[in-house]
Structure 1
Amino acid sequence: MKFIHAADLHLDTPFLGLRTAPEALWQQIYAATFTAFAKIVDAALAQQVDFVCLVGDLYDRAERSIQAQLFLQKQLQRLATAQIPVYLSYGNHDYVADAAAELPLPPNTHIFPSAGTTYHLTTKDGQTVALSGFSYAQRWVEKDMTAQFPVKTTADFQIGLLHGSQSGVASQHAVYAPFSVAELNQKHYDYWALGHIHQHQILQAEPPIVYAGNPQGRNPNEAGARGYYLVRQHGQQLQPEFQEVAPIQWQTCAVSVAGAVRLTTIINAIEQAVANFKQPQALLLQVTLTDAEQLSAALLQRITNGELLGYLQKQPLAQPWRWIYALKAQVAAGSRFNQLDQSNWQASAQAVFNAHNIAQVARPLTQPDFLMAALRQADLPATLQAQVLNLLQESAGTGEADAD
């Protein structure tokens, strides 16, 4: 027996902020979530898997575009034609919607209801498989949903599909349907197919408790390889193997500009660093120029005002594409702020944080007497100016040259 475990397709992700990329590259970026899933279906057909599990957030938004629905319908029909069943659940991004407003999915597709259920199948080689799961009924499912999963009974293999978060583990993702590994083990399942966390990872090897991650990174926080798991039976065990499919990767790149006195030197260093990436996929790159405190004021200004980034983005793109979407200078603690920018920041702070501007912005808040009194304090503008300057110095100290 073998099957595919994928999750978090996020079809029709808008990729905000990248529309300024060259048109051909933009078309590839916009199509990336679709392309990644088509590759998963290609693999399912080539491997002749017994079934496919899709664990939540197939769509990026609850308002599913007709384009995304048509695409999903077409891909699932490819699997239906090959008699490969699909078991899918909806997550917090694409929670169960009005079925009358949705395009129908092929008959090979089994959708878990919000109340949870267990589907059964028999594979080509006679193995019996039970698959248990649930779909989100609304955007927020904050309670532990493991009670909806029955304990394994007589099936040769039982698989759980759960779109949620591991309890007590810090994550950039919001906490939904929290669970613990101990709770899952009490069900005696042979494989847990997880969704929601976008980083592929194996929480437990035996029995496998696995996050597939998303097949295509959607923003700079989702850098590196993205894909799905191909799960094969070895005796009475199920063993997952990660397979990469993302047509585009987000990557970061650090380039030292120590000793650079000419702009061409910086450009050459960036181009060489970019050339060192050997991935076959297109890359979206954030480049950080380290040791930037050694640059002259004129060179640093060409970086911080976006001029150098604009130049790099206008250069012809070779295949595979490498697109620099962000370029920032990283300076040592306080050095450039103190030497170059302090007088400019002080002048700006005095122009912005003066009594007139404070009164204009705070006008809606001045009805209560105690707020009126506080905002009329003579030393308030100076206090705000000092606080802004302190924040800027702290930002320079951490190298966050583009902090808001």
Structure 2
Amino acid sequence: MKFIHAADLHLDTPFLGLRTAPAALWQQIYEATFTAFAKIVDAAIAEQVDFVCLVGDLYDHVERSIQAQLFLQKQLQRLATAAIPVYLSYGNHDYVADSAAELPLPDNAHVFPSNGATFNLTTKDGQKVALSGFSYAQRWVETDMTPQFPVKTTADFQIGLLHGSQSGVASAHAVYAPFSLAELNQKHYDYWALGHIHQQQILQSQPPIVYAGNPQGRNPNEAGPRGYYLVSQQGQRLLPEFRPVATIEWLTCSVSVAGAVRLTTIINTIEQALAKLKQPQALLLQVVLTDAEQLSPTLLQRIESGELLSYLQKQPLTQPWRWIYALTAQVTATPNFNQLDQTYWQASAQQIFTTANIGQVAQPLSQPEFLATELRQADLPATLQAQVLNLLRENKALAGDDDAD
């Protein structure tokens, strides 16, 4: 027996903050979530899997776009043509609101209802498989849903599809349908296919309890390889193997500018660092210039103002694309101001640049989800502190202080 576990497709997701990308790259960015799922379907057909599990958030919004629905319908039909059944659930982003507004899915698609269900199938090699799961009836499912899952009975293999969060584990995602590993183990299932958390991870090796993650990262917080799990039978065990499919990867690249006295030197150093990146897919890059405290205030100003980033973004792209969406200068040393006690500065900075203070000041900006996500980034306090240091250095230089460097 062999099957695919994927989740959190988020078809037709808007990639925010990248509108300045070149037209050809923007088109690839827009199509990225669709392309990733098409690759999963390609793999299912090539591997001749027995079935496919899709665990919640197939769409990015409850108001499914016609394009996203047509695309899902077409891909599921490809699986139907290959005689591969699909077992899918809807999550907190695409909960079941108005099924009358949805395009019909092919007969090979089995959708879990909001009150839970178990589907049964017999594989080509005669294995009896039971699949249990549920779909969200509303955006907020905050109760433990594991009582809806029956205990394994006579099936050769039983698989649970659960879109939710592990209880008591800190996460950037909202806590929905909380569960514990102990609860899941009490069901005696052979595999738990999880969704909702976008980072692929194996919570338990045997029996496997696995988050597939999302197959395409959509913002800087979803960096690194993205894909699905191919799950194969080995005796009475099911073994998951991660397979990447993302066509675009988010990456942070650190580049030292120690000793640079000219802007051209910095540009050449960045270009040389990017040339060493060997990933086959397109990269959306945040470039962090380290050792930037050695730069002159004039160079720092050209970086902080966005002038250097604008120049780099206008350079011709080569395949595979490497496009810089953010450029920051990282200053690790404190400024050498004659009238500024460094100990006092460090203590004050640690008190002022905290996540709580930033959240309070920026509260009016936190309603849009993408801004709320940015404000939750762990490195934001350090980034803001470094930017203030740069501004202080620059203002001191403009005032004519010889010690500004």
TM-score by length of 2: 0.84
Q: Does the alignment pair 1:399 with 2:370?
A: no
1:113 alignment partner, SS class: coil
For the 8 Å contact 2:293–2:333, the answer to whether it is kept is no
For the 8 Å contact 1:39–1:245, the answer to whether it is kept is yes
Paired residue for 2:328?
Answer: 328
Q: Does the alignment pair 1:218 with 2:218?
A: yes
Paired residue for 1:166?
Answer: 166
Paired residue for 2:277?
Answer: 277
Q: Does the alignment pair 1:295 with 2:282?
A: no
For the 8 Å contact 1:8–1:56, the answer to whether it is kept is yes
Residue type of the partner of 2:328?
K
Paired residue for 1:27?
Answer: 27
Paired residue for 1:9?
Answer: 9
Cα distance between partner residues in 2 of 1:333 and 1:297: 14
Paired residue for 1:307?
Answer: 307
For the 8 Å contact 1:334–1:396, the answer to whether it is kept is no
Cα distance between partner residues in 2 of 1:117 and 1:397: 49
Residue 275 of structure 1 deviates from its aligned partner by 1.2
1:202 alignment partner, SS class: strand
Query: How many percent identity over aligned positions?
Result: 82
Residue type of the partner of 1:42?
D
Residue 334 of structure 1 deviates from its aligned partner by 3.4
**Cα deviations across residues 74-93 of structure 1 (Å, max 9, x unaligned)?**
00000011110000000000
Paired residue for 1:182?
Answer: 182
Cα distance between partner residues in 1 of 2:387 and 2:332: 10
1:299 alignment partner, SS class: helix
Aligned residue-pair number: 351
TM-score by length of 1: 0.84
Highest Rg: 1 or 2? Answer: 1
Residue 399 of structure 1 deviates from its aligned partner by 3.4
Residue 235 of structure 1 deviates from its aligned partner by 0.5
Residue type of the partner of 1:237?
R
Cα distance change of structure 1 residues 138 and 269 upon mapping to structure 2, 3 Å threshold? same
Equivalent residues in 2 for 1:360-399 (5 A)?
Answer: 398-399=385-386
Cα distance change of structure 1 residues 326 and 295 upon mapping to structure 2, 3 Å threshold? same
Cα distance change of structure 1 residues 149 and 270 upon mapping to structure 2, 3 Å threshold? same
Paired residue for 2:76?
Answer: 76
Residue 398 of structure 1 deviates from its aligned partner by 4.9
Residue 290 of structure 1 deviates from its aligned partner by 1.0
- Structure 1: gaps spanning 5 or more residues: 342-393
Paired residue for 1:62?
Answer: 62
2:72 alignment partner, SS class: helix
Residue type of the partner of 1:161?
L
Residue 333 of structure 1 deviates from its aligned partner by 4.5
Residue 292 of structure 1 deviates from its aligned partner by 1.1
Paired residue for 2:132?
Answer: 132
Paired residue for 1:45?
Answer: 45
Cα distance change of structure 1 residues 290 and 43 upon mapping to structure 2, 3 Å threshold? same
Paired residue for 1:245?
Answer: 245
Cα distance change of structure 1 residues 181 and 395 upon mapping to structure 2, 3 Å threshold? closer
Residue type of the partner of 2:297?
A
**Cα deviations across residues 333-374 of structure 1 (Å, max 9, x unaligned)?**
4328x58x9xxxxxxxxxxxxxxxxxxxxxxxxxxxxxxxxx
1:335 alignment partner, SS class: coil
Residue 395 of structure 1 deviates from its aligned partner by 5.1
2:207 alignment partner, SS class: coil
For the 8 Å contact 2:334–2:389, the answer to whether it is kept is no
Residue 400 of structure 1 deviates from its aligned partner by 5.6
Residue 69 of structure 1 deviates from its aligned partner by 0.3
**Cα deviations across residues 69-126 of structure 1 (Å, max 9, x unaligned)?**
0000000000011110000000000001211111000000000000000000000110
Cα distance between partner residues in 2 of 1:258 and 1:332: 12
1:174 alignment partner, SS class: coil
Paired residue for 1:231?
Answer: 231
For the 8 Å contact 1:7–1:54, the answer to whether it is kept is yes
Cα distance between partner residues in 1 of 2:132 and 2:74: 25
For the 8 Å contact 1:116–1:132, the answer to whether it is kept is yes
For the 8 Å contact 1:45–1:82, the answer to whether it is kept is yes
For the 8 Å contact 1:332–1:396, the answer to whether it is kept is no
1:399 alignment partner, SS class: helix
1:221 alignment partner, SS class: helix
- Structure 2: gaps spanning 5 or more residues: 341-380, 391-405
Residue 196 of structure 1 deviates from its aligned partner by 0.4
**Cα deviations across residues 257-310 of structure 1 (Å, max 9, x unaligned)?**
111100011001111111111000000000011111111111111100000000
For the 8 Å contact 1:161–1:194, the answer to whether it is kept is yes
Cα distance change of structure 1 residues 143 and 401 upon mapping to structure 2, 3 Å threshold? farther
Residue 402 of structure 1 deviates from its aligned partner by 11
For the 8 Å contact 1:333–1:399, the answer to whether it is kept is no
For the 8 Å contact 2:12–2:68, the answer to whether it is kept is yes
Residue type of the partner of 1:268?
N
For the 8 Å contact 1:89–1:134, the answer to whether it is kept is yes
